[in-house]
Amino acid sequence: MESITVKTSSKQYPVFIGKQAIDTLPNFIESHVSKANKILIITDEKVATLHLEAVQAVLAATGKQVFTHIVPQGEYAKTFDVYYECQSYCLSQQLNRKSLIIALGGGAVGDLAGFVAATFMRGIPFIQVPTTLLAHDSAVGGKVAINHPLGKNMIGAFFQPEAVIYDLNFLATLPEQELRSGFAEVIKHSLIADRDFYHWLMTNIQDLTKITDEQFFKMIKRGIEIKAAVVEEDEKENGVRAYLNFGHTLGHAVEASMGYGKFTHGESVLIGMVYALKLSQKKQQLVFEYNSFVEWVQALGYRTTIPKHLKIEQLLQLMKTDKKSVTNSATFVLLEQVGAPLLAEMADEDLLNEMANFIER
């Protein structure tokens, strides 16, 4: 097992990565959150059947009261109603400012549970225990939020966890679609920060169902290192942290238009990355083997075009409400080269014309 330290202006905390990483929970709680009088696990219906019992058994060693609140699976968890139910449960079990929340699950559970922790009694400690590949991105950095029908993650906060405990054993239960969703964020990290890592991924990952333990460890560790470095420089997305949204401007618009939970986050972002790469070639003269990239991700099972029933005018309006945008124009993360991103405001006409070429035929 290895650990990476995330240092931000508001907090420093460890990310533990490895098999049986959850075994570190009791000692970490004793040494860093020793005053916690009650522990609440927030998890979803699917993860509860797979991993809840193991985590409960580990937490029994703390000698503290452990409660569990189960929420719907995936993006269905990130609604105001579910958030309100979590707050009501915290109050009903008499949690207080010394209590601790454990976010056990994928990115959606982590976002929800983190936002519950950030706002319950104006903030109580929480620990991220991710169970998906996608969560290697979302569990680090302290962005917590719920969705609104008019935009993804529009209601939220910056609230750093006490720690991230990434047990690689949990990845063994992931279906291929979840691996695909998470691997898109791995690709993103490589494109914005590390050309060598990008080439390693293209060379070594040809089948998402045949990723070895060593490959999982390498991609998760490198992805978290990249994320941590960006967050350390810009915790609250006033500058370079926006680069982590490469592919997300169109990706979030596609995800919202398809209906949260009906099209995975990572698969939506992958479409957004393909689109942003094409824009980068046109606007920034990016030198990139675009066709090879598209062939590679298609072989991994990704869609690389906008679903044909979506309206590009609606997608444009959603992109212009993206959190990066500070004017009436859509702001995009583009690449000057692999590992060198930048922010660019894009004219409506350019975006609409390019989207017209990106509709599924």
Render pLDDT for 83-98 as a digit per residue (tens, 0 to 9). 999 999 999 999 999 9
Name the amino acid, one letter, at 201: L
Tens of pLDDT, residues 233-254: 999 888 899 999 999 999 999 9
Rounded-to-integer distance, Cα 25 and Cα 162, Å: 11
State whether 24 and 88 are in the same domain. yes
For residues 103 and 193, membership in a common domain is answered with no
Of 176, 286, 184, 166, nearest to 228 by C-alpha is: 166
* Distance set, CA 69 to CA 143, 164, 252 (Å): 21, 20, 28
Q: Are residues 138 and 187 in the same domain?
A: no
The answer to whether 108 is annotated as binding is yes
DSSP 195-261: HHHHHHHHHH-S-GGG--HHHHHHHHHHHHHHHHHHHHH-TTSSSGGGGGGTTHHHHHHHHHHH-BT
Tell whether 172 is in a known binding site: yes
Please give the sequence-ordered ranges of beta strands (E in DSSP) within 98-168, or none if there are none: 100-105, 126-130, 143-148, 151-158, 163-167
Of 138, 154, 172, the one marking the end of a domain is 172
CA 289, distance to chain mean position in Å, is 26
Return the closest-CA partner of residue 107 out of 85, 142, 124, 131: 131
Is residue 276 one of the residues assigned to a domain?
Answer: yes
Is 249 assigned to a binding site?
no
- What does the alpha-carbon distance between residue 92 and residue 351 come to, in Å, rounded to a whole number? 49
pLDDT digits (tens, 9 = 90+) for 107-150: 999 999 999 999 999 999 999 999 999 999 999 999 999 998 88
Residue 102 clears pLDDT 90, i.e. is over it: yes
User: Using 50, 70 and 90 to split pLDDT, how confident is the model at 191?
Assistant: very high
On whether residue 339 sits in a domain, the answer given is yes
Residue 266 lies in a domain: yes
Number of domain units in the chain: 2
Place of tokens 């124009």: 329
Residue 38 backbone dihedrals phi, psi, to 5 degrees: -140, 150
Structural domain span for residue 118? 2-172
Residues 151 and 270 in one domain: no
173 is in an annotated binding site: yes
Q: What is the CATH number of the domain that holds 340?
A: 1.20.1090.10
Whether residue 131 is annotated as binding a ligand: the answer is yes
pLDDT of residue 323: 58
Whether the CB-CB separation of 69 and 44 falls below 8 Å is answered with no
107 is in an annotated binding site: yes
Answer yes or no: do 35 and 163 share one domain: yes
What is Dmax (Cα atoms) for the chain?
Answer: 61
Condensed to tens digits (0 to 9), the pLDDT of residues 327-350 reads: 677 889 999 999 999 999 999 999
Is residue 55 domain-resident? yes
Q: Please tell me whether 237 is known to bind a ligand.
A: no
- pLDDT score of 324 more than 90: no
Is 199 part of any known ligand binding site?
A: no
Query: Which of 172, 203, 229 is where one domain is finished?
Result: 172
Asked whether residue 259 carries a pLDDT value surpassing 90, the answer given is no
Task: Look at residue 262 and tell me whether its pLDDT is greater than 60.
Answer: yes
pLDDT of residue 115: 98
Residue 48: the pLDDT is 97
Q: Determine the Cα–Cα distance for residues 182 and 136; give it in Å rounded to an integer.
A: 8
Q: How many helices (H) and strands (E) does the chain have?
A: 14, 11
- Selected residue with higher pLDDT from 196 and 263: 196
148, 182: one domain:
no
Give pLDDT, residue 360.
78
Give yes or no: residues 150 and 242 share one domain: no
CB 43 within 8 A of CB 109: yes
Task: Name the residue with tokens 């189960």.
Answer: 70
Q: What integer pLDDT is reported at residue 325 of this predicted model?
A: 57
- For residues 46 and 51, what is the distance between their CA atoms, to the nearest angstrom? 9
The residue from 130, 155, 172 where one domain ends is 172
- The annotation status of 5 as a binding-site residue, yes or no, is no
Span 302-316, average pLDDT: 93
Q: Is residue 96 part of a domain?
A: yes
68 is in an annotated binding site: no
* 309 alpha carbon, distance to own chain's centre: 26
Taking the C-alpha atoms of residue 45 and residue 63, their distance in angstroms, rounded to an integer, is: 25
The reply to whether 185 sits in an annotated binding site is: yes
What H or E segment, with its residue span, contains residue 111? helix 107-119
Do 124 and 45 share a structural domain?
A: yes
What would the pLDDT profile of 8-63 be if each residue is shown by its tens digit? 988 999 999 999 999 999 999 999 998 999 999 999 999 999 999 999 999 999 99
Tell me: do 53 and 18 sit in the same domain: yes
- Domain-located, residue 29: yes
**Identity at 111, one-letter amino acid code:** D
The answer to the question of whether 327 is labelled as a binding residue is: no
**Residue 340 annotated as binding site:** no
Confidence check: pLDDT of 326 > 80: no
Q: Does 111 share its domain with 63?
A: yes
Whether 159 and 45 share a structural domain: yes
Are 115 and 182 within one domain?
Answer: no
Q: What CATH number does the domain containing 160 carry?
A: 3.40.50.1970
Percent of the chain with pLDDT over 90: 85
Residue 75's pLDDT band (cuts 50, 70, 90): confident
Say which residue, 232 or 326, is predicted with more confidence. 232
* 93: three-class secondary structure by DSSP: coil
Is 109 annotated to bind a ligand? Reply is: yes
> At 227, is the pLDDT very low, low, confident or very high (cuts 50, 70, 90)?
very high
pLDDT digits (tens, 9 = 90+) for 144-189: 999 988 888 899 999 999 999 999 999 999 999 999 999 999 999 9
Residue 212 is assigned to a ligand binding site: no
Contact yes or no for 141/10 (Cβ under 8 A): no
Give a yes or no: residue 361 inside a domain: no
Q: Does 182 count as an annotated binding residue?
A: no
Task: Classify residue 141: in a domain, yes or no.
Answer: yes
Distance CA 186, CA 57 (A): 31
How far apart CA 146 and CA 156 sit, in angstroms, is: 6
C-beta separation of 8 from 69 below 8 A:
no
